[in-house]
Amino acid sequence: MGTLENETGTAVLRRTTSSPPEKNWRTWLIGRPLQTADAPHQTIGKAVGLAVFASDALSSTAYATQEILVVLAAAGTVAFGYAFPIALAIVVLLAVVTISYEQTIHAYPGGGGAYIVARDNLGERPAQVAAAALLTDYVLTVAVSMSSGVAQLTSAFPELFPYRVALAVALVLTVMVVNLRGVRESGRAFAVPTYFFLAMMFLTVGAGLVRAALGNLGLVPSPPEFVIHPSVALATPFLLLHAFSNGTTALTGVEAISNGIPAFKEPRSRNAGVTLIWMSAILGTLFLSISYLAVQIGAVPSEAETVISQLARTVLAGRGPLYLGTIAATTVILIMAANTSFADFPRLSALVANDGFLPRQLTYRGSRLVYSRGIGSLAAIACLLIVAFQASVTALIPLYAIGVFLSFTLSQAGMARRWWKIGHLAPDVEVQERGSSLRHAPGWQLKMAVNGFGAACTAVVTTVFAVTKFAEGAWIVLLLTPALVIVFFGIHRHYQVLAKDLSLEDYGAPPHVHRHRVILPISGVHRGTLAALRYARSLSNDVTAVHVSIDTAEAERVQKKWERWGDGTRLVLLESPFRLMIEPLLDYIEEISAQRQPNETITIVVPQFVPRRWWANLLHTQTALWLRMALLFRPGIVITDVPYQTA
């Protein structure tokens, strides 16, 4: 604490409140509050980073193969043979996207999500499209992952099937609380199970591949019921593209690391890039193996038992401890996938809010230094989706992944544009652009080609998505995204106009208030009104008390009492033959206000009862409240409640 008298003579006093807020149920739930100064330590290394950011991508192996089979099933089980070639095509796409993003991570060490890349290189409109698409998809990631996690559980314990919606909602709320506690702890808490998942999956897949090589793999014993349609469709190109679209959900989450670079330990870009490549390699291997084995064992898509469950009990010889371990690991990785969104959604929304396209409150970091409001919003919307779609993965899938591929496209296109700009800079010129610096570099042509190719591939996939899944639910996202963009720009306009309105540029010395009229509406003459009168007189000598009277006898009484207690203050009695209370007062204020001088202020001092018990408010007419609401939009009028605490 200290006072400093500075050159212009303004006294400035600085004080710090260092005592943390008191303990209550919130500190019990999310931990003791952290000081702002604690922030920089909350970063993570590669191993924990893989656990936190890769789980989204890895977990999609739990449903991607199944969702390919769901579509192929329309052409009969014979069409299942297409599953492996489709998976192969998806892995190629994965490689393209990974290489593209590797370049992005190094170009944007401060965090190079699709939003930032699009904003810096393509402009505001594409950036907001990317933001809308990504935010939508983060919500869907939570809904899909939790639903799939619960589906794994109910495969092992069918008696839980009726409670799947409640289970999924409970899981979302649990992950929310973990995230409200802060990223470090959630990373640590989740590192062990991620590696447990990898171990169990490689065990299952490895054992499966070995048994397949030895020729003793066999088929799924007593597979779940599977309805074969009597009129089997042909495996048309449209059907194959549809199956491909469903399978590309395997790629969701690949972008997570590029958004999360600032969470990594230094050297951030290197650590993040290495983690990305590891992640993609593991993802590709698992996805291909699972798709291959699923077809080999004759697994069928079913809401009652997941393909992963069918695979595990076929390969691992029944529902033993190893089977249960695999199911547990898969469930847990899916929960962590949701957790990734809990890291990214609040970060992106804070970024967008900071640019003025979302409410600024989203930039506020809560007591644990996380964007609590973003975390809360994400949990709420995801729970609504889970309830609306009854925790069915197959029902949610048509909405999913369009957003991701749209943002992939924008991000790669932005990067391509960036390389082009870099290539056309004069050597040794450095251009500062929104925090990142551009400098001519050799080899920009190849890099531009890589990102350009990535953009083209993902653009095609986005189109395939929109077309093949349109009728099933993709239309919702195709309507929602532009709607969100319109809302974002509406918010932005508001903040811009506000900033202009408040700006002190071209603002002269503020005129002083020369005249101050005070109007004091009174309902009677009692201690409360006299307290308000006393206050009103301390503001100005020009005080007028106003009483609206609905009967003459009462007006006489008020006048008599005022003569005794009013201290000589002017009283205006407004007779209201139609028994209206607020309107005559407003008319009177309007009249006074019309005669107002430019530097005159009118203050309405309203005596207000403050009963000790809340219900007692119902026993009083809330005149102050109505007056406030009616006069709020009138310039030059200030309303003051003088509270009078009473019974």
Give whichever of 174 and 552 is closer to its own copies, judged by the CB atom. 552
* In the complex, least distance from residue 91 CB atom to its own copies, rounded to whole angstroms: 44
Count CA atoms closer than 13 A to 385's CA, side-chain side.
28
* In the complex, least distance from residue 275 CB atom to its own copies, rounded to whole angstroms: 30
Give whichever of 163 and 565 is closer to its own copies, judged by the CB atom. 565
Give whichever of 34 and 416 is closer to its own copies, judged by the CB atom. 34
Give whichever of 323 and 488 is closer to its own copies, judged by the CB atom. 488
3-state SS track over 359-423: CHHHHCCCCCCCCHHHHHHHHHHHHHHHHHCCCCHHHHHHHCCHHHHHHHHHHHHHHHHHHHHHH
Give whichever of 229 and 494 is closer to its own copies, judged by the CB atom. 494
| CA 397 – CA 252 distance, rounded (Å) | 12
Using CB atoms within 10 Å of the CB of residue 573, give its burial: 0 to 12 exposed, 13 to 18 middle, 19+ buried: middle
Q: Give the list of residues 6+ apart from residue 334 with CB closer than 8 angstroms, or none.
A: 59, 62, 145, 146, 148, 149, 152
Give whichever of 463 and 617 is closer to its own copies, judged by the CB atom. 617
* In the complex, least distance from residue 486 CB atom to its own copies, rounded to whole angstroms: 13
* In the complex, least distance from residue 10 CB atom to its own copies, rounded to whole angstroms: 5
- The answer to whether 205 and 282 have CB atoms below 8 angstroms apart is no
| CA 347 – CA 362 distance, rounded (Å) | 9
Q: Report the alpha-carbon angle 569-575-578, nearest 5.
A: 150
| CA 622 – CA 608 distance, rounded (Å) | 8
DSSP string, 132-145: HHHHHHHHHHHHHH
* In the complex, least distance from residue 26 CB atom to its own copies, rounded to whole angstroms: 12
Nearest to 414 by CA among 121, 129, 114, 124: 121
* In the complex, least distance from residue 84 CB atom to its own copies, rounded to whole angstroms: 50
Give whichever of 463 and 599 is closer to its own copies, judged by the CB atom. 599
* In the complex, least distance from residue 327 CB atom to its own copies, rounded to whole angstroms: 42
Give whichever of 147 and 372 is closer to its own copies, judged by the CB atom. 372
Give whichever of 179 and 363 is closer to its own copies, judged by the CB atom. 363
| CA 181 – CA 287 distance, rounded (Å) | 33
Give whichever of 223 and 643 is closer to its own copies, judged by the CB atom. 643
* In the complex, least distance from residue 599 CB atom to its own copies, rounded to whole angstroms: 9
Q: Output DSSP code: residue 261.
A: G
CA distance readout (Å), 578 to 189, 553, 555, 626: 69, 16, 15, 18
Give whichever of 370 and 410 is closer to its own copies, judged by the CB atom. 370
| CA 577 – CA 574 distance, rounded (Å) | 10
Give whichever of 135 and 151 is closer to its own copies, judged by the CB atom. 135
* In the complex, least distance from residue 131 CB atom to its own copies, rounded to whole angstroms: 17
* In the complex, least distance from residue 186 CB atom to its own copies, rounded to whole angstroms: 20
| CA 16 – CA 1 distance, rounded (Å) | 7
* In the complex, least distance from residue 259 CB atom to its own copies, rounded to whole angstroms: 23
Nearest to 145 by CA among 400, 334, 403: 334
| CA 43 – CA 584 distance, rounded (Å) | 63
| CA 267 – CA 421 distance, rounded (Å) | 26
The structure tokens 């019309």 sit at 594
- The answer to whether 148 and 62 have CB atoms below 8 angstroms apart is yes
* CA-based R_g, the chain, Å: 33
Looking at the DSSP bridge assignments, the partners of residue 431 are 438
Give whichever of 4 and 213 is closer to its own copies, judged by the CB atom. 4
* In the complex, least distance from residue 355 CB atom to its own copies, rounded to whole angstroms: 14
| CA 490 – CA 492 distance, rounded (Å) | 5
Q: Output DSSP code: residue 44.
A: B
* In the complex, least distance from residue 377 CB atom to its own copies, rounded to whole angstroms: 12
